[in-house]
Amino acid sequence: MPHPKADRLQALPPYLFKEIDRLKAEVAAKGVDVINLGVGDPDQPTPDFIIKALQKAAENPEHHQYPSYSGMGAFRKSAAAWCKRRFNLDLDPATEIVTLIGSKEGIAHFPLAFLNPGDVALIPTPAYPVYHSGTLFAGGLSHFMPLVAENKFLPDLNAIPVDVAKKAKIMFINYPNNPTGACADAGFFEKIVAFAKQYDIIVAHDAAYSEMGYDGYRPISFLEIKGARDVGVEFHSLSKTFNMTGWRLGFAIGNAEILDGLGQIKSNIDSGAFNAVQEAGIAALDGDQSCVTAMQEIYAERRDVLVGGLQALGLTVESPRATFYVWCHTPKGMTSAQFTALLLQEAGIVTTPGSGFGEPGEGYVRFALTVSKERMAQAIERMKKLVF
């Protein structure tokens, strides 16, 4: 007999990246050599010194028991020290940092702490799908803030109706931005702080790509702004910074009262990150950051190959200052879905339709810089044979 799924699942759109994996597998099953520029999963290995730290820690029987719900004190101290070096933030490891099983987990659980059924969350679009799905799971309502090129892919706060702003409890923002690659400056963050204080809104800033800046650009932290810690928190991930996507480790920083709410949710849902993985995270945060610099150089080279090739093909695209994504206009007369289907079926290239991130993403395709520059050049050569 059928077992109907809960209404909260019925309300969700299909998870974008799961569908991309399915389509990729279909094409690969036909023997096609697929070049995957779809899901943003780093192709470089985790640095060796981090792996060795995990190996050593995994042998310690003390780590084989339940970890602390809020994370190892030593990991939170390392995260605080890293934030001090990187952003000049002074954080209390005991109250202003919470360890996460990857930033996705923390972001998804965050609305459960602060949204009652019917409460509003302000969510950018196009955007990482988890902001919306986490809101739905909490019974909240999503009010979408369009990100458009005319506004440099920053939300227009003046376009948010006053009655909506008064009902809103959370605002999600994400810079450097996925999928557009856009960046935010201090002036924009100052407007966010003022808006949040005016309407008593919690700001949740997803900073997963803070270490993926190029050509000398160093993204700033939302919490560097005066008053930001009064209204918000920031989510950081070791996944992209240290090529640790499969390890599932991150941390949230900021307002202690807000983080306490997230911590309460986590203590009732999960049992914390494996201590041996946190030991590896300590090695990553405390260690030589030249591995991060090397990663930035690799992605910058790939970006230049891809962007230059796309522009030579007549496509409209700007070179991003940060993230490992390239946000490219579709050819004239083609939708996002049509262009991604053409690239996959005729050239064996996996990309992500911009429309999958939200309605304002229509007319764009996202390319991820997660293959070698040689494979990137090969993708461009394949595209030269297409008619679009």
Backbone angles phi, psi at 134, to 5 degrees: -65, -35
CA separation for the pair 169, 81 (Å, rounded): 30
Is-contact 223 84, C-beta < 8 A?
no
Predicted pLDDT at 117:
95
Q: Band of the pLDDT at 16, cuts 50, 70, 90?
A: low
pLDDT number for residue 81: 98
Query: Which pLDDT value is given to residue 15?
Result: 64
Three-state DSSP at 221 gives: coil
> How many percent of the chain have pLDDT more than 90?
87
Please, which residues bridge with residue 254 across strands?
A: 233
Per-domain boundaries in the chain: 7-45+290-384, 48-286
* pLDDT reported for residue 3: 84
pLDDT digits (tens, 9 = 90+) for 231-286: 999 999 999 999 999 999 999 999 999 999 999 999 999 989 999 999 999 999 99
The arithmetic mean of pLDDT across residues 314-324, rounded, is 97
Say what the pLDDT of residue 69 is.
75
271: tokens are 């049992």
Which tokens belong to 335? 């939708």
5 vs 154, residue with greater confidence: 154
Region 383-388 average pLDDT: 90
pLDDT at 17 over 70: no
pLDDT of residue 132 exceeding 80, the answer is yes
Report how far apart, in Å, the C-alpha atoms of 74 and of each of 15, 16, 94 are: 36, 36, 10
Whether 315 contacts 112, CB under 8 Å: no
The two tokens of residue 372 are 């070698």
Q: Which residue has the tokens 């591995």?
A: 291
Mean pLDDT of 177-189: 98
- Separation CA 119–CA 138 (nearest Å): 9
Q: Is the pLDDT of residue 319 over 70?
A: yes
Q: Name the more confident of 236 and 30.
A: 236
pLDDT the model gives residue 296: 97
- Condensed to tens digits (0 to 9), the pLDDT of residues 115-124 reads 999 999 999 9
pTM: 0.95
> What pLDDT score does 387 carry?
83
Give me the mean pLDDT over the 362-374 stretch: 97
Q: Which has more pLDDT, 150 or 15?
A: 150
Q: What is the pLDDT at residue 27? A: 76
Q: What is the pLDDT of residue 232?
A: 97
Mean pLDDT across 350-371:
95
Please name the CATH architecture into which domain 7-45+290-384 falls.
Answer: Alpha-Beta Complex (3.90)
pLDDT for 103: 96
- Contact 340/27 with Cβ under 8 angstroms? no
Torsion of CA 132, 357, 83, 184, to 10 degrees: -110
SS3 for 96?
coil
**What's the chain's average pLDDT?**
95
In 3D space, the residue among 326, 317, 324, 318 whose CA is nearest the CA of residue 297 turns out to be 324
Instruction: Decide: helix, strand or coil at residue 241.
Output: helix
Q: Which residues contact 272 (CB under 8 A, 6 or more apart)?
A: 66, 67, 68, 69, 70, 71, 99, 101, 266
pLDDT band at 128 (very low <50, low <70, confident <90, very high): very high
Name the 3-class secondary structure at 51: helix
Q: Does domain 48-286 have CATH number 3.40.640.10?
A: yes
First to last CA, the chain: 48
- Report how far apart, in Å, the C-alpha atoms of 136 and of each of 131, 133, 177 are: 9, 5, 22
pLDDT category of residue 70 using cuts at 50, 70 and 90: confident
